[in-house]
Amino acid sequence: AQKITQTQPGMFVQEKEAVTLDCTYDTSDPSYGLFWYKQPSSGEMIFLIYQGSYDQQNATEGRYSLNFQKARKSANLVISASQLGDSAMYFCAMSGGNQFYFGTGTSLTVIP
Amino acid sequence: EAGVAQSPRYKIIEKRQSVAFWCNPISGHATLYWYQQILGQGPKLLIQFQNNGVVDDSQLPKDRFSAERLKGVDSTLKIQPAKLEDSAVYLCASSPGQGAYEQYFGPGTRLTVT
């Protein structure tokens, strides 16, 4: 079975500080992809970052970086220099075997 | 570049009625996805199309849900008859290909079944 686990229902971070959102996954496929999406209160899903299972380097996109630890099956999202506009739901997701799985999400609140 | 379009944005129906949702993906995107997102949960993939063929529909409740992708472009998702537990946001997404490509999501259709 393939699944994604996000154990933090809610997180708070001070503006301008860094925050790590946890994600672990379970798969027996050797080839898979890991994604993070942001869902603001408006409801649209916004792609943030992607990591392939064979990628040697951790992915980075601006203030977002993905801390990929393959042996631990974890793919944590690090947001540096948090901004008020970062307040949203964050979903970790995995692709593999024609399927696409999302976690239950973490609600991030940035405090001014 | 126009994004993924969905309609309607909101729909309220009574149980046992039928409903249809429409999605127009980004031009040129071969892969189209329909998701169901129940309040407080992550999206669940219902069906994936590659052009006008079904790649995966293993999580689609086929006794009441159906979907088609006309000529490999627009897609419709239908529920007949609806149940209370079908109340959710239905998201459509498209991507240039399968797997490693990021998905572009539409605004969703919020369905309430009373």
Q: Does B77 score more than 80 pLDDT? A: yes
Cβ–Cβ gap A105/B89 under 8 Å: no
* DSSP three-state, residue B72: helix
- The single-letter code of the amino acid at A62 is G
More confident residue, A41 or B2: A41
**Joined tokens for residue B94:** 């498209």
What pLDDT was estimated at residue B29? 93
Cβ–Cβ gap B108/A4 under 8 Å: no
Residue A27 near chain B (CB below 8 Å): no
Residue-wise pLDDT tens digits, A50-96: 999 999 899 999 999 999 999 999 999 999 999 999 999 999 999 98
DSSP one-letter string for B55-106: EE-TTS-TTTEEEEEGGGS-EEEEESS--GGG-EEEEEEEESSSSSSPPEE-
Nearest CA in chain B to A43: B107
Residue A93 near chain B (CB below 8 Å): yes
